[in-house]
Amino acid sequence: MGQGKSQFTEEELQDYEDLTYFTKKEVLFAHQKFKALAPEKVGHNKNAKLPMAKILQYPELRVNPFRDRICKVFSSSNDGDCTFEDFLDMMSVFSEMAPKAVKAEHAFRIFDFDGDDMIGVSDLREVIERLCGPDLKLSDSEIQQLVQNVLEEADLDDDGALSFAEFEHIIDKSSDFCNSFRIRL
């Protein structure tokens, strides 16, 4: 952690501590992890912008079916490239301390592939396909059935898509979500 300390001033650390769900030590630890993705680049500039491909080398992200969405949601330039601060934001949301509402907010954006602020049928299909992975394919009718079931359960106002309020409602009732939507630093 000695090298990490030299890269941040006390004020910056205080800022990070106030603005994320991490303590100062955890921020430094996160920076170490970030640095490990591209040692030279980050060594020069602690807040270097790493391309999405580099960020995706983070172990948990590498195998995550929603990896590109996660990067895009947290990227401040919206193209998937992340600076350290974006990375810190990401980890903060995924940390254990982050409340359900914050997680739900970001999960909604991750699952909203087309960005229309609704999780529609096409988004749900995409989510399901990604969940099953590249090798396994559900038949079209099965996906159809599943989407139908999900909408039946959650689409309260019957408009064929999940709005954020509806999504939050599901998340509120799902005790598993908080457990699974988490990446330990």
Partner 1 sequence: MSGGNSKGKARSKRHEGWEEAGGEFYQELYPGAEQDLFEHLQRADAAKLATLLPSKQARNTTTVKRARSQNDRRQSTYARTTQSRDIHLSMMPDLSENLSNEERTWEEIMLIKAMPVPMNQKRELKEKLQNATKLRLQGLEHIHWQQRKVWHRFRIRFGEILGKLEMWQSPLREIEGTFGTGVVSFFLFLRWLLFLNLVISLFVIIFLILPKTVLVETSYDCEDYESNSTVCCSYSYLSRNLTESNLALDVIQGTGWMERTILFYGVYSDQIYTYFIKSFWETQFYYNMPLAYILVPITWALLSLIAIVKAAAKGFKEKLVESEGQFYLYCNLVFGGWDFCIQNEKSAKIKHRALFNEIKGCLEEERFKEEKQLRTRESQILLHMRRLLINSIVFIILVASGVMIYISYNYSLVRLSAQTGVDNADPGDLNKGYVNRTSERLAFSHFKMHRNTQGLGSRDSSFFEQLENTLLEFLPYICIVMLNLIVPEVFNYLIGFENYAPARVIIVTLLRTVLLRLSSLAVLLSQIYVFIASNKRTCSWGDEEANGIECWETYLGQQLYKLILTDFALQFVITFVINLPRAFVARHSSSRCLKIIGEQDFYLPKHVLDIIYIQTIIWMGSFFCPFLPIIGTLYYFLIFYIKKFTCLINCTPSPVVYKASKSKSLFMSVLLLGFVVSIAPVAYSVAELLPSIKCGPFRGYSTVWNYVIETFDRFPYILRESVFLLGTSVFAVPAFAVLLLFLYYYWAVAAANRHMVAVLKNQLVLEGHDKQFLLNRLSAFIRQHQKRCERRNRASFADDDSSIRQSSR
Q: Does 44 bind partner 1 (CB under 8 A)?
A: no
CB of 33 to partner 1, least distance (A): 12
**Of 50, 64, 60, 62, nearest in space to 111 by CA:** 64
SS (H, E, C) 74-132: HCCCCCCCECHHHHHHHHHHHCCCCCHHHHHHHHHHHHCCCCCCCECHHHHHHHHHHHH
CA distance 153 to 151: 5
Interacting positions 98-157 with partner 1 (CB under 8 A): 99, 101-102, 105-107, 109, 111, 116-118, 124, 127-128, 131-133, 135-136, 138, 142, 145-146, 149-150, 153-154, 156-157
CB of 43 to partner 1, least distance (A): 20
Q: Does 49 bind partner 1 (CB under 8 A)?
A: no
Q: Does 55 bind partner 1 (CB under 8 A)?
A: no
Q: Which is nearer to partner 1, 39 or 59 (CB)?
A: 59
CB of 117 to partner 1, least distance (A): 5
Binding-site member from 5, 19, 122, 140 for partner 1 (CB under 8 A): 19
Q: How many CB atoms lie within 10 A of CB 1?
A: 9
Q: Say if residues 94 and 183 touch (Cβ distance below 8 Å).
A: yes
| Torsion angle of C-alpha atoms 47, 48, 54, 55, degrees rounded to 10 | 30
CA distance 83 to 42: 10
**Any long-range contacts for 126-131 (C-beta under 8 Å, 24+ apart)?**
127/66, 130/65, 130/66, 131/65
Interacting positions 79-108 with partner 1 (CB under 8 A): 83, 85-86, 88-89, 92, 94, 99, 101-102, 105-107
Binding-site member from 6, 40, 63, 140 for partner 1 (CB under 8 A): 63
CB of 104 to partner 1, least distance (A): 9
CB of 6 to partner 1, least distance (A): 21
CB of 31 to partner 1, least distance (A): 13
Q: What are the tokens at 112?
A: 């909203």
